[in-house]
Structure 1
């Protein structure tokens, strides 16, 4: 693993002294190895040879803990009993790698806590630790995180406000509230409304991609306990930004295609046999398509950090995400859903008061805003509500991006022992494989 936040792709050469495919550190304590001078030969299966030297005529290995002389016999094995300490003393040395004897200082205290060079401990994470890691990243590196979020949110909102105030606000959508409107008028109004929403969504999508790319780099450094400036984050993320935009557009295209295919049978039946038969089939098709779309989006939800941190292509990133999520779909779905709910609730607490304030200051009042549907929206409303949207985006961007990156890291720790690479990159010594990794 490099010191840069863009980690090397998995499947690189194994560590020294470790065979490819091994999941633990090279040379575990107690494994059979070549014969050493001064030690009796061993037979296959770990049994001592029958030709033992006379007692007291072989010395303990050099540097063995507790050796006091050249001809000291090994200590007798500890007697049975519940209070027997682990081999090697209270620290658990001699029973396995340091920190993994499972005993602790008092003999039953469990393994020592995992190293934590940054915002998360280097071991498999719980739900609370992932959420806390995202918030800790925002709190510890608030200058960079909030600076990126604020810049992207302001630029995005300026474009949206200008489009809504100069172009999109003049679209004719009154026909949607007119009961006497003809089918052509309703179709035209619906088309204009969808076009307006699509333009705003595209602008917001570009801002989201930029924020996600930059915040992914910041979070990956925060895991190692290292800060990063906005310029450094941009230099690292810039080569992958276009690929990230293409990835998100591809995922949206897949989702739209699935929903369209699900609604198509019902639409065709409606044209052929009438709306009474077709509506039920359309609803059923949309429900099935929605379930399939959600399932696919969760499988590909880790493609973004994979693309940014492993420097992968679009298709390879989607394949890697599906591999990491396999067997943990419900866990990934639950954590992503929880993070989205928390971020949106916090953002709504900020945005909704600004929206009502904007309605009150715009002249029509809150009642006029609630009763309006596609009417003219003044600049006062757009500007005041835009300020609330900027503040809300400053919170949602770091939480959603941080949770996604930490979920990616957690899945790689569980499946690929990424914690060992993270520990080496962070300069943590004597970090062995943690239980569950």
Structure 2
């Protein structure tokens, strides 16, 4: 129930972005303020979702008993640092990527700063220190972290695609839907997006399926990074030994 409640925020964010992409003409051409409001709402839910899942994963790893309320409280306490740090990370990586020649640097910094969520949620540094702190954990083993992150990403992508395509194939094979074929389902599962020229009913069904599968696959990414974060701390700082030292504030300081 804990993770189900936390994932709900990420699902709401994905729904908002999905509707925004499919009806961008309406939101931005006819009602730009509504479009901006939906973008901000999607970002807010996304930040709460990733922050909450991170805290929940860390609490589970550290054998802490937490509730949805306590996790959300801790997440909201760190909302603005996480929000700003995410925008900074996204801005730098995006700018480097669009220059094309900066793509290798985009990959490098995306990995180097890959633990900014965990450092903010567990160690509570300011924004710039959070990025630097992530770099400290990644730099000695950059290639290892890159490989593990890539594996986690591929796992999440494969899980999402396999489940989504399988459900779509079942719907087509059983003639429950007639607007699309197997190729359309395959493209939908592999490349995302929405179907064109379908009935509102089928569109709603496809969105519901996508969100349900997203709720199952997205946490893989956040949980995987969180576990990798603790693993890096163990390898570099002996975090497992630190946890065994009888200090009254050890776990509290890590969970915030």
**TM class by smaller structure:** 0.7 to 0.9
- 1:212 has 2:38 as partner: no
After superposition, residues 7-46 of structure 1 pair within 5 angstroms as none
Q: Which residue of 2 is the match for residue 388 of structure 1?
A: 209
Of 305, 318, 325, which residue of structure 1 is paired with 2:131?
318
TM-score by length of 1: 0.47
- Distance of 2:176 and 2:39 partners within structure 1: 26
- How many equivalent pairs are there? 232
2:55–2:75 Cα contact (<8 Å) kept: yes
Cα deviations across residues 49-107 of structure 1 (Å, max 9, x unaligned)?
A: xxxxxxxxxxxxxxxxxxxxxxxxxxxxxxxxxxxxxxxxxxxxxxxxxxxxxxxxxxx
From the superposition, tell whether residues 366 and 170 of structure 1 become closer, same or farther in structure 2 (CA, over 3 Å).
farther
Q: Which residue of 1 is the match for residue 12 of structure 2?
A: 155
After superposition, residues 21-420 of structure 1 pair within 5 angstroms as 143-149=1-7, 151-160=8-17, 162-163=19-20, 167-168=23-24, 206-260=44-98, 262=99, 286=100, 288-355=101-168, 357=171, 364-366=179-181, 375-420=196-241
Q: What is the DSSP-based 3-state SS (H/G/I as helix, E as strand, rest coil) of the residue aligned with 1:226? A: coil
- Distance of 1:326 and 1:164 partners within structure 2: 37
The structural deviation recorded for 1:249 is 1.4
Cα deviations across residues 260-305 of structure 1 (Å, max 9, x unaligned)?
A: 3x3xxxxxxxxxxxxxxxxxxxxxxx2x321111011110001110
From the superposition, tell whether residues 148 and 291 of structure 1 become closer, same or farther in structure 2 (CA, over 3 Å).
same
Q: Which structure: greater helix fraction?
A: 2
| Unpaired stretches in structure 2, ≥5 consecutive residues | 28-35, 188-192, 249-256
Q: Which moved more, 1:247-256 or 1:304-313?
A: 247-256
From the superposition, tell whether residues 242 and 294 of structure 1 become closer, same or farther in structure 2 (CA, over 3 Å).
same
- Distance of 1:300 and 1:366 partners within structure 2: 42
The structural deviation recorded for 1:156 is 2.8
The structural deviation recorded for 1:169 is 6.7
The CA RMSD measured in Å over matched residues stands at 3.5
The structural deviation recorded for 1:204 is 5.7
- Distance of 2:138 and 2:105 partners within structure 1: 16
Cα deviations across residues 353-398 of structure 1 (Å, max 9, x unaligned)?
A: 445648x76653327957x998555422332122222222222232
1:161–1:383 Cα contact (<8 Å) kept: no
- Distance of 1:289 and 1:237 partners within structure 2: 33
The structural deviation recorded for 1:226 is 2.1
